[in-house]
Chain A
Amino acid sequence: MKRIITSLICIFAFSSGVQANAKSDNLIKPPGFADAIETLALANTGNSELSQPKIESEKNNSQSTLISSIKSLDELAGQLITADYVTKKEIIRNIATLKDSRALPFIESILQGELFYIKKSDQLVYRQLLDNKKYLAVSALNGSELGEFKKRKLKKIGINNNLRGEMKTIIATLKITSTDPILREHAALEILKGANENTLTLIDLAISKETDSSINEILMTAQAIIHLKSVDPLKRIDAIKSLEDSLYVESRNALMLFINENKLNNSETSKEEITYAQETVNGIDKLVTLNNVAENIYFGVSLGSVLLLAAIGLAITFGVMGVINMAHGEMIMLGAYTTFVIQQLMPNHAGLSLIVAIPAAFLVSGLMGVLIERTVIRHLYGRPLETLLATFGISLVLQQAVRSIFGPLNQDVLTPSWMAGTFTVNAGLELTFNRLYIIIFSLLVLATLAVVLKKTLFGLQMRAVTMNRPMASSMGIRTGWVDALTFGLGSGIAGIAGVALSQLTNVGPNLGQAYIIDSFMVVVFGGVGNLWGTLVGAMSLGIANKVFEPMAGAVLAKIIVLVAIILFIQKRPRGLFALKGRAVED
């Protein structure tokens, strides 16, 4: 009874033209499109039902006929609350076939998990968070406010992965007419994924309208994949031809399927086609191999850049000053936590806060470094074993301090949207943006540091002090302060590394421990006291790791690299680029 009343209200609301408050996508619907979409959605209905769990599909039959007879969005939507996943799929497909401009935003809201219902009254709502931690429920069907509710009084319209995939395809087919080329490209890729005979009309139509060449290429690929199954041999040959050098995985899969299927029937024509298809596959495979090599090198360089970031700071504190600083990892951790705190302070600016965090992390870790140097390390110069133990102690203190202040749980550092996603080189090779930025960032940090060391007065004093302390002192350099600032600089750079690492890994009390060994490895391998050596060391370790990993697995790759370094150090104890001169001898 209640439900009938609800749906009556809804029908009334809709007929009076109130729009659901979702995003509008500037859809232009040329005549013919709606029909194509409708036939597509209907044709899809019989598809892929076997992939459902048995328990659900049993009770499905009676309901599905019922649902296909309903023709209004409001009634269909009302069914969502009680439906199981199979029925939900049915309902959503039917909503898609409705010639109703509200269908798309409605389906999108389900996909985004924005559609809720009030447990008590079974009304479909969107929710808005209020200041008093309660939620304002707004009817999804007519936009009216239905009052405030506690979080657990509203229940989400649940979806599962099958449904999610289905909805993505439906939305894609609806969006292929969008004016926004990015949306269209996205839609085209979704169509390519699910290309079958039913989508052919839609694809043909879309190709005739499409002006963007890259989107057209995707659609043509989808078309060719479907044409492979055509009865017309000319069409098939054309299809194979247009799939040449196509790096979309779907192309290769479709060709392989074509070869395997046609091997069964031995007609003369198909033999030629098979050879042709096989040649095309071989051609694609060659390109894929090239892609894989490029990808592996990229992974290696990216791992190298992370090692580089972690090790640059140590290259100063250990490399230049000779302090075995076991608390170096904790400086990285402090930098990462600074990023977290800055982000908490500016909650709505994930991107900006990251940039602000760079100088802030430098200051926090740098000041902590100066503090440690002045209070502890200063008294221990020339006693490496004591320094090692003392700094190890400091690292434990810092870890536990962070654990006491922030709790033992990892903190959630947001990734700004410009760091997410991939940079598409070609259809088979995509480089992740976050890694790309970190590679650039690490090189920038290295370059800046090199300039500071070579071109500034502080750099000059620093080098003077490390080369010959008594001489520098007698020239009027305050060696004590230079020591403190040098240590602060190294620590500060570790802090900057923490900002970058917060984007890749956990921000937790143990963050630093994961990088301390690697950092020492890089510095020792590259040559103590040499920035250039640190760069080459980090990159070669990164690439070596990634070359071995696909062959030997992650665990063994690490071991191989470690053993290689040990052997290398036996041969060249001073690392790749050893400093020469009198200063090194003692």
Chain B
Amino acid sequence: MIKKLSKAVGVAALTLSAAMAQASETIKVGVLHSLSGTMAISETTLKDTVLMMIEEQNKKGGLLGKKLEPVVVDPASNWPLFAEKTRELLAKEKVDVIFGCWTSVSRKSVLPVVEELNGLLFYPVQYEGEESSKNVFYTGAAPNQQAIPAVDYLMNQGVKRWVLAGTDYVYPRTTNKILESYLKSKGVSEKDILVNYTPFGHSDWQTIVSDIKKFGSTGKKAAVVSTVNGDANVPFYKELANQGISSDDIPVVAFSVGEEELSGFDTKPLVGHLAAWNYFMSAESDLNDEFIDAWHAFTKNEDRTTNDPMEATYIGFEMWAKAVTKAGSVDVDKVRPAMYGLKVPNLTGGTAVMNTNHHLSKPVLIGEIQEDGQFDIVWKTDGVVKGDAWTDFLPESKNLMSDWAAPISCGNYNTVSKTCAGSEVAGQQAM
């Protein structure tokens, strides 16, 4: 009996030590996405995407002969908690890379921590630009990869009056500022632009929709450019449909509405409204089919949708894996330069390239909402568009550029004065 027991203990000890030995032999990947709270709706999917990518990479034998090990934390849609969890990931768990954040405010909260501890963050969501950190790779769209092409498309469709509707926080405010100055540069007069902000989770859209209706019925073709975020979209679109505004009267182009968000909609009344992204699930390519199949297999749910931030996560992960292989190390200072110029195939066809400004070159697509909650791609840029960290349409950032490769090595280099303003100023300007 005792013999048996000691044997069992021995075996247990052995496996334990083996497990510990293996643990030190793994590459740790931090996953920093909210799994509870308001943003859980969007971010849970991205956590699953990273886990799927890790699983697939491990099936291929991991990286540098080591297995990848995910470290998942839950910052609970709480912005200061994002910073704390980042510190935990970098200082305590000693992760080699972090995939995470959704809202700009969470990224801003994480930024000082990754910079201080020299971590590496892949940020997979479209954002307002006006930022470039040495320690962050932005795989989502910058304004010139989403907002500006969308406005161009509508202009070609004959739109003359513009409603810029957004939720009241940093991303819509900055994007609308950029768009307003862009529209004016295209000869749109002040009275043909209506800017409107609503609080987070706004649910009573009657007055605003009725204003939009009046604004759009002066005989000139009008469109709504919507940076309305998250939950507020459903009641907004519902009210549009209820007041009888259809997409051929006043189309709405949204930058925050994708397949995932539409899964909570009855999309029948929304058919024809637009979204601008770098990826749509309906894109026709073998790689996309494979990705969707893998996603369905991973989630064991045939009805799960894929979306743009997922593709951005996919590209970011693939690039990081390539860079690690290329650098032969997971050390941030070696991986970072290895990233520049790396190419990874887009799920929509073509290849994405990582630039030295830490932004991708990607194609831009415009899709129209269909009855089944998918998008029909109605327009696509001819080639890829290079992400621009500092927009050319705001006076304060017109002369700035970002280039983290030698000899400039600066996130906000002033091309006129030939100086680097440094991270302090960059942070202030971004606000």
| Closest Cβ–Cβ distance, residue B297 to chain A (whole Å) | 16
Chain B 140-180 against A: per-residue CB contact (8 Å), 1 yes, 0 no?
Answer: 00000000000001001110000000001000000000000
With A403-B40, A549-B207, A555-B168 known as contacts, the answer to whether A412 contacts B264 (CB < 8 A) is: yes
Q: CA separation between A508 and B38, bound complex, in Å?
A: 10
Q: CA separation between A161 and B302, bound complex, in Å?
A: 30
| Closest Cβ–Cβ distance, residue A188 to chain B (whole Å) | 15
Q: In the complex, which of the residues A152, A161, A513 has the most CB atoms of chain B within 10 Å of its own CB atom?
A: A161
Q: Is the CB of A550 within 8 A of B242?
A: no
User: Which listed residue, A50, A303, A408, A545, touches B158 by the CB 8 Å rule?
Assistant: A50
User: Which listed residue, A53, A165, A545, touches B153 by the CB 8 Å rule?
Assistant: A53
Residue of A nearest to B247 (CB): A161
With A168-B248, A408-B41 known as contacts, the answer to whether A306 contacts B198 (CB < 8 A) is: no
Q: In the complex, which of the residues A550, A553, A558 has the most CB atoms of chain B within 10 Å of its own CB atom?
A: A553
Residue of A nearest to B263 (CB): A409
| Closest Cβ–Cβ distance, residue B56 to chain A (whole Å) | 22
Q: CA separation between A85 and B378, bound complex, in Å?
A: 9
Residue of A nearest to B223 (CB): A161
**B-side contacts of A352, CB under 8 Å:** none
Q: Is the CB of B199 within 8 A of A506?
A: no
User: Which listed residue, A55, A295, A303, A508, touches B231 by the CB 8 Å rule?
Assistant: A508
Q: Is the CB of B238 within 8 A of A161?
A: no
Q: CA separation between A533 and B302, bound complex, in Å?
A: 51
Q: CA separation between A270 and B249, bound complex, in Å?
A: 33
User: Which listed residue, A161, A302, A507, A555, touches B157 by the CB 8 Å rule?
Assistant: A161
User: Which listed residue, B36, B221, B235, touches A506 by the CB 8 Å rule?
Assistant: B235
The reply on A214 being an interface residue by CB < 8 A is: no
The reply on B203 being an interface residue by CB < 8 A is: yes
**B-side contacts of A65, CB under 8 Å:** none
The reply on B352 being an interface residue by CB < 8 A is: no
Q: CA separation between A253 and B215, bound complex, in Å?
A: 12
Q: CA separation between A505 and B235, bound complex, in Å?
A: 5
**B-side contacts of A422, CB under 8 Å:** 242-244
Chain B 181-205 against A: per-residue CB contact (8 Å), 1 yes, 0 no?
Answer: 0000000000000001111011110
| Closest Cβ–Cβ distance, residue B13 to chain A (whole Å) | 36
Q: CA separation between A513 and B201, bound complex, in Å?
A: 10
With A158-B378, A510-B231, A553-B196 known as contacts, the answer to whether A546 contacts B207 (CB < 8 A) is: yes
The reply on A411 being an interface residue by CB < 8 A is: yes
Which of chain B's residues 349-377 have a Cβ closer than 8 Å to chain A?
368, 370-371, 376
Q: Is the CB of B379 within 8 A of A53?
A: yes
Identify which of B3-11, B116-124, B265-273, B404-412 touches chain A. Answer: B265-273
| Closest Cβ–Cβ distance, residue A203 to chain B (whole Å) | 19
Q: CA separation between A306 and B264, bound complex, in Å?
A: 21
**A-side contacts of B260, CB under 8 Å:** 409
**A-side contacts of B269, CB under 8 Å:** 420
**A-side contacts of B208, CB under 8 Å:** 549, 554
| Closest Cβ–Cβ distance, residue A130 to chain B (whole Å) | 15
Which of chain A's residues 412-444 have a Cβ closer than 8 Å to chain B?
412-415, 420-422, 430, 432-435
**B-side contacts of A435, CB under 8 Å:** 206, 242
**A-side contacts of B158, CB under 8 Å:** 48, 50-51, 162
Q: CA separation between A164 and B247, bound complex, in Å?
A: 9
Residue of B nearest to A193 (CB): B249
| Closest Cβ–Cβ distance, residue A425 to chain B (whole Å) | 13
Q: Is the CB of B157 within 8 A of A162?
A: yes
| Closest Cβ–Cβ distance, residue B67 to chain A (whole Å) | 29
Q: CA separation between A505 and B269, bound complex, in Å?
A: 15
Q: Is the CB of B197 within 8 A of A161?
A: no
The reply on B219 being an interface residue by CB < 8 A is: yes
Which of chain B's residues 269-283 have a Cβ closer than 8 Å to chain A?
269, 271-272, 274
Q: CA separation between A253 and B266, bound complex, in Å?
A: 34
Q: Is the CB of B199 within 8 A of A412?
A: no
Q: CA separation between A164 and B369, bound complex, in Å?
A: 13
With A164-B247, A249-B217, A414-B266 known as contacts, the answer to whether A53 contacts B157 (CB < 8 A) is: yes
The reply on A400 being an interface residue by CB < 8 A is: yes
The reply on A504 being an interface residue by CB < 8 A is: yes
Q: CA separation between A558 and B197, bound complex, in Å?
A: 12
**B-side contacts of A409, CB under 8 Å:** 41, 260, 263-264
Q: Is the CB of A508 within 8 A of B41?
A: yes
Q: CA separation between A430 and B244, bound complex, in Å?
A: 9
The reply on A410 being an interface residue by CB < 8 A is: yes
**A-side contacts of B378, CB under 8 Å:** 85, 158, 160
Q: CA separation between A558 and B168, bound complex, in Å?
A: 13
**A-side contacts of B251, CB under 8 Å:** 161
Q: Is the CB of B368 within 8 A of A160?
A: yes
The reply on A144 being an interface residue by CB < 8 A is: no
**B-side contacts of A50, CB under 8 Å:** 158
Q: CA separation between A194 and B323, bound complex, in Å?
A: 57
Which of chain B's residues 368-415 have a Cβ closer than 8 Å to chain A?
368, 370-371, 376, 378-379, 382
| Closest Cβ–Cβ distance, residue A562 to chain B (whole Å) | 12
| Closest Cβ–Cβ distance, residue A353 to chain B (whole Å) | 14
The reply on B241 being an interface residue by CB < 8 A is: yes
With A412-B263, A414-B266 known as contacts, the answer to whether A504 contacts B235 (CB < 8 A) is: yes
Q: Is the CB of B242 within 8 A of A420?
A: yes
Q: Is the CB of B218 within 8 A of A253?
A: yes
The reply on A54 being an interface residue by CB < 8 A is: yes
**B-side contacts of A55, CB under 8 Å:** 382
**A-side contacts of B36, CB under 8 Å:** 400, 403
| Closest Cβ–Cβ distance, residue A233 to chain B (whole Å) | 24
Chain A 384-412 against B: per-residue CB contact (8 Å), 1 yes, 0 no?
Answer: 00000000000000001001000011111
Which of chain A's residues 144-178 have a Cβ closer than 8 Å to chain B?
152, 156, 158, 160-162, 164-165, 168
The reply on A470 being an interface residue by CB < 8 A is: no
| Closest Cβ–Cβ distance, residue B357 to chain A (whole Å) | 28
Q: CA separation between A513 and B38, bound complex, in Å?
A: 10
The reply on B331 being an interface residue by CB < 8 A is: no
Q: CA separation between A165 and B246, bound complex, in Å?
A: 9
| Closest Cβ–Cβ distance, residue A509 to chain B (whole Å) | 8
Q: Is the CB of A164 within 8 A of B248?
A: yes
Residue of A nearest to B208 (CB): A554
**B-side contacts of A505, CB under 8 Å:** 203, 231, 234-235
The reply on B44 being an interface residue by CB < 8 A is: yes
Q: CA separation between A570 and B7, bound complex, in Å?
A: 76
| Closest Cβ–Cβ distance, residue B280 to chain A (whole Å) | 12
Q: CA separation between A53 and B211, bound complex, in Å?
A: 28
The reply on A113 being an interface residue by CB < 8 A is: yes
**A-side contacts of B289, CB under 8 Å:** 152
With A113-B271, A253-B219 known as contacts, the answer to whether A550 contacts B376 (CB < 8 A) is: no
| Closest Cβ–Cβ distance, residue A221 to chain B (whole Å) | 15
The reply on B210 being an interface residue by CB < 8 A is: yes
Chain A 474-514 against B: per-residue CB contact (8 Å), 1 yes, 0 no?
Answer: 00000000000000000000000000000011111110011
Q: Is the CB of A504 within 8 A of B203?
A: yes
Q: CA separation between A553 and B158, bound complex, in Å?
A: 28
**B-side contacts of A346, CB under 8 Å:** none
A-B contacts, 26 listed (Cβ < 8 Å) = A48-B158, A85-B378, A133-B302, A161-B248, A164-B246, A165-B249, A249-B218, A296-B207, A299-B210, A302-B206, A306-B204, A403-B40, A408-B41, A409-B41, A410-B231, A414-B266, A505-B231, A505-B235, A506-B235, A510-B38, A510-B231, A514-B201, A553-B196, A554-B199, A554-B202, A555-B168
Task: Report B's interface with A, CB cutoff 8 A.
Answer: 36, 38, 40-41, 44, 153, 156-158, 168, 196-199, 201-204, 206-208, 210-211, 217-219, 221, 231, 234-235, 238-239, 241-244, 246-249, 251, 260, 263-266, 269, 271-272, 274, 289, 302, 368, 370-371, 376, 378-379, 382
- Other than the given A51-B156, A253-B218, A299-B204, 15 more pairs (CB < 8 A) read A50-B158, A53-B157, A54-B156, A161-B251, A168-B248, A257-B219, A303-B204, A400-B36, A409-B41, A409-B260, A410-B231, A410-B263, A422-B243, A433-B242, A507-B264
Give 10 closest A-B pairs by Cβ, nearest first. Answer: A410-B264, A51-B158, A165-B248, A53-B156, A253-B219, A249-B217, A408-B40, A432-B242, A299-B206, A505-B203
